[in-house]
Structure 1
Amino acid sequence: MPRSRDGRYRSVLLGTLVGVLLVHNAKASTLEAINHTHWAINRFSVDGRSGLDIIGPYQGGGGGCCYSAPSRWQPGLTVRVDWETGASGVSELADEFPGFADRPKYFAWKQKVNAQKRQLSKVVPVPDYTGQKVCGLTVHFLPCDELQVTTSCYAFGSPEYPIKTPLHLPEPQSCPQ
């Protein structure tokens, strides 16, 4: 039975993706995140690839596709993380939500929420993963707009997981400039 036009396109697309991965000799896997701050991570991306989920304060999430680690780690390997922080859905601003009926109150509330959003970007070193299995990339969002990343296959909190930072970190009074 002949393939449908859509089936051919999917086969070509899948073949192209597999070919790209084989040429680069890399494994593609998900982008995950752990948020150690009291702010929501409204969105994030790694090297332009979306992490998908909003990540609430002191939570994990993500699930975006794909991070492809080079088959061999090399000194100087970095990723660019872009993200937006803002008030979380469980913040005091959520309690102030006036509903949609009173448009002026709604727009004033929305402006207050948007005023707390910040767009950030940072280039982060990828730790040496020589001799280890690579399972995507997990970004840790830390206070003072600091980041850590890992390619570890272990779950956050397990003894083998390389980043030992507690989930609930106190927010410092001030951040280094």
Structure 2
Amino acid sequence: MSPYSGGGKQNCCASLPVKWHPGLTVVVEWVKDPDPHAYVNWPPLGTDGYRAAYKLHAAKYTRHRAVVPVARYEELGLVNVHFLPCNQVAVSAGATYPGRPDYPFHFPQKMQEPATCPES
């Protein structure tokens, strides 16, 4: 998925209890493309040049993994994973959704990556 978008090419599994409890966490793994719009300058799709450009580009992907607390929920519902600057992640799993006052997170719509990220 591209920055500031929803959904994505691959969504998978979150097995969560019906009732939230303190200490509930999930493991989030993702691959990050450092330049998601680079393809606009590549040779035509389906050509050897395109395949070579893709191979060079994909070698720059970074892989990430985080163990993330799940925000408190009263009723199990949609799982929302927010990918934030500096490879931070926030997860909710309730019957509410972004934009509602009862949603646990109220992040700005578009957050820019800072020039440097704090050490974890």
TM-score by length of 1: 0.58
| 5+ residue gaps, structure 2 | none
Question: 1:139: which partner in 2?
Answer: 81
Identify the structure with the greater strand proportion: 1
Which AA in structure 2 matches 1:76?
G
Residue pair 2:28, 2:68 contacting (<8 A) in 1 also: yes
Identify the structure with the greater helix proportion: 1
Residue pair 2:24, 2:70 contacting (<8 A) in 1 also: yes
Over aligned residues, Cα RMSD in angstroms?
2.0
Structure 2 counterparts to residues 99-118 of structure 1, below 5 A: 99=44, 100-101=46-47, 103=48, 105-118=49-62
Matched, 1:156 2:98: yes
Question: 2:63: which partner in 1?
Answer: 119
Question: 1:75: which partner in 2?
Answer: 22
- How far did 1:66 drift? 4.5
How many residues get paired?
116
Structure 2 counterparts to residues 12-91 of structure 1, below 5 A: 55-62=1-8, 64=11, 66-86=13-33, 87-88=35-36, 91=37
Residue pair 1:152, 1:162 contacting (<8 A) in 2 also: no
Question: 1:3: which partner in 2?
Answer: none
Q: Give the number of the structure whose alpha-carbon radius of gyration is greater.
A: 1
SS at match of 2:57: helix
TM-score by length of 2: 0.82
Q: Percent identity?
A: 36
Residue pair 2:71, 2:104 contacting (<8 A) in 1 also: no
Separation in structure 1 between the aligned mates of residue 63 and residue 31 of structure 2, nearest angstrom: 5
Separation in structure 2 between the aligned mates of residue 137 and residue 149 of structure 1, nearest angstrom: 7
Change (3 A) 1:155 1:77: closer
